[in-house]
Amino acid sequence: MGAVKETVKDVNNFWSDQSINYKAFLARDMLTRLLGNIGGQYSSIYMRTLGASIQNITLLTSVGELIRVILSLPAGLITDRATKIKRLYLSGRMLALPVNLIAAFATSWPVYFAARLWEIVTWRILMPTGHIISIAAVKNVDRVKAMVLNRTLISAIGLIAPIVAAYAVTYFGGLDNIASFRPLFLVQFASALMIFLILATQLQEPEVTRTSKPQSNPLKSVLEIFKQVPGLKMILILNLVRSFFINIRMPLVQLYFHEIKNANAFVLAYQSTVSTAATLLLSVPIGNLAPRIGKRRMGYISQIMYALCVLAAVLTPPDQPIWLLVYSLCSSLGMAFDVGWNAYIQEYIPLETRGRWMGINTTLCSLVGIPAPIIGSLIWDINPNYLWWISFVFYLLLAIPLRMSVPKHQGE
């Protein structure tokens, strides 16, 4: 009983010390988990019911990556020069508002395709500014605890959402009926509107200390961050390799579960619920390992969990899709351990260079990501299982050695 009181006291003290921006972003994430992505797990299946082929679905990812290539560097440079980060961030959210409304009433896959491409455009504004606000909102000493609390609360909020979505899809006609998905996207639109109003009224301008003025020459301005933080070169290589191996598989994950492993709406919902429950139960104890085993080691363990995750998916018998829940459990363990690595990388990169870093990182990763989904669709045509075996090899033989190669930062 004493331990429980001490934990509650510790959480209360931690909460009272946090900034309004951390709390506003936590509210954003909780609403997004509850309502804002209720149809997200059916995105590729929805495109399929609208008449899209496997190649059309992977093309969306490839064209999206091309947009990131074109816009990421300019967006990063603008962000690092901006003095009104909050205004820039809210502009991006306002521009993104129509996306789910258009998706809800799409009558063909090209309309849905265009809506999602516009969303990618708006995220070029949202991503760098949102990262700056989020990182500036928390002290380094509180970072892992803040990320764990965020993950735990949004997991608790999101336990029921996938099951509700499954019942809704089933009620309106099932996974092969276009009308089944439209109510979910309308809910997502309403959620996005609520989130915008909360952030517009609650967010404060983040405090960003700029120790040096970026170069006026855009190319020199970008390249100077690698001199300021030498370890960024290795992180960039890691991200490039990861981007390729992730993008050959990710656009087709839900279709793989539905068409190859015969998962219905409820199996997909149970996957989300198991993932959420595991995150809720395990995030805090796993997060508490950071001071003992180190954030970097947590990052290595996460890759082993992801390897087990893809192995569980490919070995699931098509006549027993319920075994896909093992995939979800291992995936959640991977994400829980990856909190340590994500916190480590956040501390690695100074806020004053964050916009340019996100610009060059996203641009180059997107260049790699343009051909990856197309290659993935070609591999699918040969044998969909090969996509998962390739990912298994990546996590075990490439991801861990590359993470180990990242130099330690000055604060360690």
User: pLDDT by residue (tens digit) across 86-126?
Assistant: 889 999 999 999 999 999 999 999 999 999 999 999 988 88
CB 352 within 8 A of CB 210: yes
The H or E element spanning position 301 is helix 295-315
Reported confidence tier of residue 214, pLDDT bands at 50, 70, 90: low
Q: Please spell the DSSP secondary structure of 356-367, one letter per residue.
A: HHHHHHHHHHHH
pLDDT greater at residue 355 or residue 339: 339
- pLDDT the model gives residue 50: 93
CA–CA gap between residue 23 and residue 273 (Å, rounded) = 25
Q: What is the rounded CA–CA span in Å between residue 109 and residue 112?
A: 5
Tell me the pLDDT of the chain averaged across its residues: 85
Q: For the segment 369-407, what is each residue's pLDDT rounded down to a tens digit?
A: 889 999 999 999 999 999 999 999 999 899 989 988 888
Structural domains in the chain plus CATH codes: 19-207+217-404 (1.20.1250.20)
At residue 409, the pLDDT reads 65
Q: What is the DSSP letter of 214?
A: P
- What's the pTM value of the predicted model, to 2 decimals? 0.74
Percent of the chain with pLDDT over 90: 34
Place of tokens 């099932």: 174
Span 5-20, pLDDT tens digits: 766 777 787 888 888 8
How many helices (H) and strands (E) the chain has is answered by 21, 0
> Is 60 exceeded by the pLDDT of residue 355?
yes
- Asked if 382 and 241 count as a contact pair (C-beta separation under 8 A), the reply is no
Least confident residue range of 37-41, 291-295, 305-309: 37-41
Q: Between these two residues, 102 and 349, which has the higher pLDDT value?
A: 102
Q: Is the pLDDT at 60 greater than 60, yes or no? A: yes
Q: What is the pLDDT of residue 335?
A: 87
Contact between residue 190 and residue 35 where contact means Cβ atoms under 8 Å apart: yes
Distance separating alpha carbons of residues 190 and 384, to the nearest angstrom: 36
Strands of 191-245, DSSP E: none
Q: Measured between alpha carbons, how far is 130 from 132 in angstroms, rounded to an integer?
A: 5
Pick the residue with more confidence: 1 or 335?
Answer: 335
Token couple for 338? 């990856």
Residue 145's CB: how many other CB atoms inside 10 A?
20
- Give me Rg for the CA atoms of the chain: 21
Please, are residues 149 and 137 in contact by the beta-carbon 8 Å criterion?
A: no
Comparing 298 with 35, the larger pLDDT belongs to 298
Is pLDDT above 70 for 216? Answer: no
